[in-house]
Structure 1
């Protein structure tokens, strides 16, 4: 698994032209790689339902809308990023990524600063990016979502959105330290059957971590402001939704305004953590004296002791310092017109 897999209508061509190793005994059908203008990369482990049986129908939809597609199955997050970077190097028009929020962030990492657009076909467990854009994810109740979203994005124009850097690594949605990163580290990766219990498992794991976690002393610099305090959680958010899409942490966030929000949630016990959760669910955290929002372009979070770290819902190595920076409008993303109008300030459709 993890080899570069292509499906062909014109014959068989050599997948090693992409620089990837293919087992000798494996026969691979491919499009003419010289003619492709997009890459469809999918995470076979994403979500509650395998997407592999649906790949052919997605290709046909994209073909019907004039796209010439190569297909690759990703073996892990780093591979997803490498595949996206290769597509950008070859000047592909777009990378269509099928998977969850982690796959979205990994594909975005390979496209930052390029002219290749990212099109997301959500098929993960939480699918917060899909909630942000107002599209349906591929789940049992929306089995046709992949084809519908492919048709929608096939006609969409790219919009340039902001990307964040955390310790030099790109993220599209969030970078968090503390309680949420502890939960992500406990949960990921998960087997497919465990994803059917995603909500209760996430809640139970978070409650367990809250009962043990006493917070951290942080020194924060956000542009020209300096803050010190004891916090359960610090999260930099580029989008509106958070906590598996259950809350809007930054209700008025724009994807292309050149800044992000750094949210700080104070406290040191289970009761305070529960209060933050219910405040976020109700939108009260925006005015709470226990939560603070720091808009930033550059920021740093430092502690005397190592803290857990997550980016786009994927666990990262812990650290005592997290440096944050916004890369304005550095990623081209295909998104529906209505989403552009709600979430972007600079795209033509958002001004109409």
Structure 2
């Protein structure tokens, strides 16, 4: 990669400024291929200087983003799914180089939370236009890995493990494959012998079988429907929120799912679910010597004996095209 000039300033609204961008394209993302990468590069090159690189292995986007920040690029454009965006963010947290996500995956949770169009061409047009905003977004951390919108310990992480073993089916069936794996894990493993964990906060200590933390306004999406576990201020609130699943019983499955998908009644109103009003400093430990499966932004990061959560308010600079800042920006 060639040398670049300094980064854009916080709150900058663009104009005639020509930015130096590194485009990271994940060729394995569900809606990204060589033709898509060329179209995106062409669209961005009309106003900005763009270097395009394809990711080649797990963790590659972290390495490339970290190098781009060291070389002074204005922003890293992450073209892929939420896993690609997560890796790019992990290379950019705390640096002057901004993250510019584009919707190149199946769900595109982070892009939705930033108010970006789900259509890739429209999102490229925004980023390649005259106007842009640079804002500081919060990022959560579990152990040594940052996450942009959500992280889970237990049931959903186990489902992610299984989904990742079959990337072709994942790409084809998306949310339906994940839902089927989640149901399979719940009925096959968690109902009979769930991983036992202890959740410790500054105020309490209690048992659980799954912990789900959200940094954004929703935990994830199922199709167009947001799944909100706990009302939360979103990417710019300065805190994390989440829930702990106290038990894994078949009788709880339907009512908890109904609450999560309908939003008519809060998930935390069900007796099997405990609200975790703050996630900063929360620690989850194994109680039965089995390692805990952990996922960040839908990306499996393996099994660990404990999960330590923290939040870094405003630690990630985010570049978003358009005349309006992202939803929820207060600083």
Do both proteins adopt the same fold according to a TM-score greater than 0.5, normalized to the shorter chain? yes
Report whether the alignment pairs 1:221 with 2:200.
yes
Q: Which moved more, 1:189-198 or 1:276-285?
A: 189-198
Aligned-pair CA distance for 1:286: 4.1
Secondary structure, aligned partner of 1:106 = helix
What whole-Å deviation, never above 9, does each CA across 1:16-66 have from its counterpart, x for those lacking one?
x79xxxxxxxxxxxxxxxx9821000000001x34310222222222223x
Aligned-pair CA distance for 1:189: 4.8
Secondary structure, aligned partner of 2:89 = helix
Aligned-pair CA distance for 1:299: 1.5
Picking from 116, 119, 124, the partner of 1:150 is 124
Within 2, Cα distance between the matches of 1:242 and 1:302? 22
Within 1, Cα distance between the matches of 2:37 and 2:122? 13
Q: Which moved more, 1:319-328 or 1:337-346?
A: 337-346
Picking from 101, 108, 114, the partner of 2:82 is 101
Structure 1 residues 265 and 194, CA gap change in structure 2 (3 angstroms):
closer
Ranges in structure 2 where 5+ consecutive residues have no aligned partner: 4-17
Report whether the alignment pairs 1:180 with 2:156.
yes
The answer (yes or no) to whether the contact 1:219–1:226 under 8 Å persists in 2 is no
Picking from 259, 263, 268, the partner of 2:243 is 263
1:235 match: 212
Structure 1 residues 191 and 254, CA gap change in structure 2 (3 angstroms):
closer
Report whether the alignment pairs 1:125 with 2:106.
yes
Instruction: Please provide the CA RMSD for this pair.
Output: 2.3
Within 2, Cα distance between the matches of 1:153 and 1:253? 25
What whole-Å deviation, never above 9, does each CA across 1:269-322 have from its counterpart, x for those lacking one?
233233322211122214334322321322211122322111111111211211
Report the structure, 1 or 2, having the larger helix content. 1
Structure 1 residues 136 and 272, CA gap change in structure 2 (3 angstroms):
same
Report whether the alignment pairs 1:324 with 2:294.
no
Report whether the alignment pairs 1:167 with 2:143.
yes
The answer (yes or no) to whether the contact 1:133–1:336 under 8 Å persists in 2 is no
Within 2, Cα distance between the matches of 1:194 and 1:226? 38
Structure 1 residues 196 and 170, CA gap change in structure 2 (3 angstroms):
same
1:77 match: 58
1:116 match: 97
Aligned-pair CA distance for 1:336: 5.4
Structure 1 residues 36 and 255, CA gap change in structure 2 (3 angstroms):
closer
1:1-352 to 2 correspondences below 5 Å: 37-47=20-30, 49-65=31-47, 67-137=48-118, 145-154=119-128, 155-192=131-168, 194-211=170-187, 212-214=189-191, 215-222=194-201, 224-231=202-209, 233-245=210-222, 246=225, 247-283=227-263, 284=265, 285-291=267-273, 292-304=275-287, 305=289, 306-335=291-320, 340=325, 342-346=327-331
The answer (yes or no) to whether the contact 1:85–1:110 under 8 Å persists in 2 is yes
The alignment's TM-score, normalised by the length of structure 2, stands at 0.84
Secondary structure, aligned partner of 1:96 = strand
Aligned-pair CA distance for 1:341: 5.2
**Bigger relative contact order (CA 8 A; separation at least 6):** 2
Structure 1 residues 115 and 164, CA gap change in structure 2 (3 angstroms):
same
Secondary structure, aligned partner of 2:282 = strand
Structure 1 residues 189 and 44, CA gap change in structure 2 (3 angstroms):
farther
Within 1, Cα distance between the matches of 2:80 and 2:169? 16
Aligned-pair CA distance for 1:148: 1.9
Aligned-pair CA distance for 1:242: 2.6
Within 2, Cα distance between the matches of 1:339 and 1:287? 36
Within 2, Cα distance between the matches of 1:191 and 1:293? 33
Aligned-pair CA distance for 1:337: 6.1
The answer (yes or no) to whether the contact 2:27–2:54 under 8 Å persists in 1 is yes
